[in-house]
């Protein structure tokens, strides 16, 4: 009987950004400080899910957050792009996630099955909600996983 691929157990969920998001303005020229390096060169996970928790805010219609990924292809050096340049380079865009309601509430949004590079990388958070983020309680979390070809 042929092997059937099944999900491997995911790695522990990692908080990629937290205090870097506090009071982050809605600004077309800046982004949050980049995350620390996330090293996927050993685990070689293929996929990840991202979960964004935003403390109470009142986003404008059409609000979203964009996540950019900068890979250290040589294992050490990251691209040195400004926020404006990164937005112009669509190959750096990892995903955009709509923030669905304009009500004044906390928001929990996610993106699933995003493809990870097999290398060291950092994530950048671009606030396009139309308002500044709350002064505390904001996080970006990553859950990485793989498929086991042996079933």
Whether residue 150 is predicted with pLDDT greater than 80 in this model: the reply is: no
How does the average pLDDT of the chain come out, rounded?
89
Whether residue 148 is predicted with pLDDT greater than 90 in this model: the reply is: no
For the stretch 107-130, pLDDT in tens is: 899 999 999 999 999 999 999 999
Is the domain spanning 6-148 CATH 3.40.1000? The answer is no
For the stretch 3-34, pLDDT in tens is: 677 888 888 899 999 999 999 999 777 789 99
Give 35's pLDDT tier (boundaries 50, 70, 90).
very high
At 114 the pLDDT is 97
**HEC string of 65-132?**
EEEEEEEECCCCCCCCCCHHHHHHCHHHEEEEEECCCCCCEEEEEEEEEEECCCCEEEEEEEEECCCC
Angle at 53 between CA 135 and CA 49, to 5 degrees: 145
Please answer whether residues 86 and 31 qualify as being in contact, where contact means their C-beta atoms are separated by less than 8 angstroms: yes
At 115 the pLDDT is 97
At 27 the pLDDT is 76
For the chain, the structural domain boundaries read: 6-148
For the stretch 78-115, pLDDT in tens is: 988 888 888 888 889 999 999 977 678 888 999 999 99
Selected residue with higher pLDDT from 103 and 74: 74
Whether residue 2 is predicted with pLDDT greater than 70 in this model: the reply is: no
- The pTM score is 0.90
In angstroms and rounded to an integer, the radius of gyration of the C-alpha atoms of the chain is 16
């Amino acid at each position: 009987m042929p092997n059937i691929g099944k999900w491997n157990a995911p790695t522990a969920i990692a908080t990629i950004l937290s205090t870097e998001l506090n009071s982050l303005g809605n600004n077309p020229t800046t982004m949050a400080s980049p995350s620390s390096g996330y090293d996927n060169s050993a685990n070689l996970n293929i996929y990840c899910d991202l979960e964004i928790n935003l403390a109470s805010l009142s986003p404008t219609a059409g609000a979203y957050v964009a996540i950019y990924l900068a890979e250290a292809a040589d294992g050490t050096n990251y691209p040195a792009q400004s926020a404006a340049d990164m937005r112009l380079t669509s190959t750096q865009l990892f995903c955009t996630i709509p923030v669905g309601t304009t009500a004044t509430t906390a928001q929990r949004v996610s993106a699933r099955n995003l493809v990870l590079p097999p290398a060291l990388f950092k994530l950048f958070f671009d606030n396009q909600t139309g308002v500044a983020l709350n002064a505390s309680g904001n996080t970006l979390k990553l859950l990485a996983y793989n498929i086991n070809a042996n079933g």
